[in-house]
Each structure stands twice: as C-alpha cells, then as structure tokens.
C-alpha cells in the first residue's frame, strides 16, 4: 500500500511516518514540492505517485492569526482540501481529512458527538468546517477525523511552550476554565491507521478530560520526575478573561469518541501518552 501525506513535515506528519503499518510505503513530499493550494500541483503529484491512501495532515493552525487573515487560512484549510479530495477521487484513492474541535462553539456541557451540529466561533473553526464540507463535496467517501489539543515531542506546541516557560520563569500562569483532552500526535497517528478504510465523520482524542491548567501541572510533574526540569515553579490558574486573545477558544471541547473506540479499541489516558512524549525528550 502506498500512502501520500500532505503536511509530512508537521507533528502529525512525522508521527504518521513513525507509525506507518508494516508493508506500507509512506510518500512524504516536501512542502516546497507539494503546494496543496495549487490544484495543478496536487493533480500532478497524486497522478505521479499513485497512492492508495491520501492523508491531509496539513493545516493553517495559527488560530489567532486566522482572525485577521481568514482568506489565507481558508485557502489552506478549505480550498486546498477540495483540490486534494478531487485528485483523490479522480484516482480512486482513499482520502483522510483531519479536522478539529473548533468546529464547535464550546458552549456545551457534555461530549460533542460527530452528529452534533457544528457552530464554529472563530475564523479557524469556520475554515476547518469548510474543509470538512469540501472533502464531502469532492470525494465520494472521505474519512474525516476531528481531534483536539494535539502535541508531540517535535514542533511548536503547548508541551514545548510549558517546558520553556517552566525553565525560565519564576511562575507560569495558565488558563483553567477551558476544558478538553490533550492528544499525543503518535496516538492520533495510530488511530488514523486503525480507522483507514472507514468513511464518514469520527472523533478521536486520547482518553480523559483536563483543563490547560491541569495539563500544565502534569507536564511539570512528569518533567521533574524524568529529569527534564530541575526546579518546580508555581503554576497559577487564571480565567480566559485574564488572557484575552483575538480568537475565541472553546470553553468546553471534549469529543465523544464512542464510534471510533468501537473500531480502534479505547484510547490510553492522556497522561500516559504525555509520559511517552516526554520520554522522547530525555537526553
């Protein structure tokens, strides 16, 4: 089986490469050679590589910047998805689109099911929802996987930000009233392989629930235990209102994964996955 990954240099793309199933060949096209916003390039790359499966792990993820540059975010998160889905459909290739909890407004109080009507409250969320719709419009049977709070041992993410701040500041202030589930990119990659062959809309995160404050506390505790930090600093819980951002973040974005878990088996708890991630950072 040949697998073409868009966004192969990102944290999910790297995790997909590290977990690729035995007997499969992953085609990681450099971003400079695989401009997903160019329909001619997309059509050519898909025709030349002839993949059995195309996974779109590329996205505009600068959530706050998207508020001022929604058209640019839309080109990557939606228009380009249509190009990828069209090329995959033309070649008879299975297509996987990765989406986000930001398609919901975060005003709920129970886990969001795949069938819950979306109501994005940010430009990023709107463009990612448009990407889902583009996949459905241009491919006969896309697999769309919504996830949340993704991090990895490589890349720019919350774990690396917290480790840097905890090593350089006397205290760290972290939002405590936004609730979701941290998701290790390696766990998400394994779920994508397990769900390959399905069609429709699925949710996947690691198991459990946390606030960003809870996540930060766990990062410090485990990093101290593993020798990645040499001191403990106070972590101060704050409200979203105390840390204003251009984009509105979901207050509650826990996803209902029952339909995914019925196929993949249950996910590991997010803290167990965090430990695995931090172990990768040990010297």
Dihedral sign for Cα 63, 264, 111, 218, please: negative
Q: Would you say residue 279 lies in a domain?
A: no
The catalytically annotated residue of 124, 151, 213, 252 is 124
Contact 184, 191 (CB under 8 A): no
Integer angstrom CA distances of residue 110 from 202, 207, 265? 17, 15, 21
| Structural domain count of the chain | 1
Model-level pTM?
Answer: 0.97
Q: What is the CATH number of the domain that holds 141?
A: 3.40.50.720
Q: Would you say residue 223 lies in a domain?
A: no
Q: Is 213 a catalytic residue?
A: no
How far does CA 187 lie from the centroid of its chain? Answer: 11
265: burial class by Cβ within 10 Å (0-12, 13-18, 19+)? exposed
Q: Would you say residue 104 lies in a domain?
A: yes
Q: Would you say residue 245 lies in a domain?
A: no
pLDDT beyond 90 at 254: yes
Integer angstrom CA distances of residue 68 from 1, 237, 241, 243, 245? 41, 29, 20, 19, 12
pLDDT digits (tens, 9 = 90+) for 107-157: 999 999 999 999 999 999 999 999 999 999 999 999 999 999 999 999 899
Residue 29 is predicted with a pLDDT of 85
Query: How confident is the prediction for the chain on average, in pLDDT?
Result: 97
Spatial CA neighbour of 43 closest among 54, 32, 57: 54
Q: Would you say residue 192 lies in a domain?
A: yes
pLDDT digits (tens, 9 = 90+) for 194-219: 999 999 999 999 999 999 999 999 99
pLDDT beyond 90 at 54: yes
Q: Would you say residue 236 lies in a domain?
A: no
Q: Would you say residue 6 lies in a domain?
A: yes
What range defines the domain where residue 199 resides?
Answer: 2-155+181-208+252-268
Quote the percentage of the chain above a pLDDT of 90: 97
Q: Would you say residue 166 lies in a domain?
A: no
């Amino acid at each position: 089986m040949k697998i073409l990954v868009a966004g192969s240099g990102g944290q999910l793309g790297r995790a997909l490469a590290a977990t690729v199933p035995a007997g499969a060949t992953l085609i990681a096209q450099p971003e400079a050679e695989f401009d997903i916003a160019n329909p001619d390039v997309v059509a050519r790359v898909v025709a030349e590589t002839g993949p059995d499966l195309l996974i779109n792990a590329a996205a505009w993820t600068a959530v706050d910047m998207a508020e001022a540059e929604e058209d640019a975010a839309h080109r990557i998160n939606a228009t380009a998805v249509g190009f990828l889905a069209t090329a995959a459909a033309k070649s008879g290739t299975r297509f996987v689109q990765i989406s986000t909890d930001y398609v919901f407004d975060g005003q709920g109080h129970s886990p969001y099911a795949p069938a819950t009507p979306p109501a994005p409250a940010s430009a990023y969320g709107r463009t990612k929802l448009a990407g889902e719709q583009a996949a459905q419009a241009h491919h006969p049977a896309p697999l769309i996987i919504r996830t949340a709070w993704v991090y990895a041992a490589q890349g720019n993410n919350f774990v690396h930000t917290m480790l840097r701040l905890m090593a350089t500041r006397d205290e760290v202030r972290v939002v405590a009233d936004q609730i979701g589930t941290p998701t290790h990119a390696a766990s998400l990659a394994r779920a994508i392989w397990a769900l390959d062959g399905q069609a429709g809309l699925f949710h996947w995160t690691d198991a459990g629930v946390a606030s960003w404050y809870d996540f930060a506390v766990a990062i410090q505790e485990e990093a101290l235990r593993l020798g990645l930090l040499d001191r403990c600093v106070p972590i101060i819980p704050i409200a979203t209102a105390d840390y204003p951002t251009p984009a509105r973040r979901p207050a509650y974005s826990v996803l209902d994964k029952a339909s995914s878990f019925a196929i993949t088996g249950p996910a590991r708890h997010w803290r167990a996955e965090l430990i695995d991630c931090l172990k990768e950072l040990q010297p």
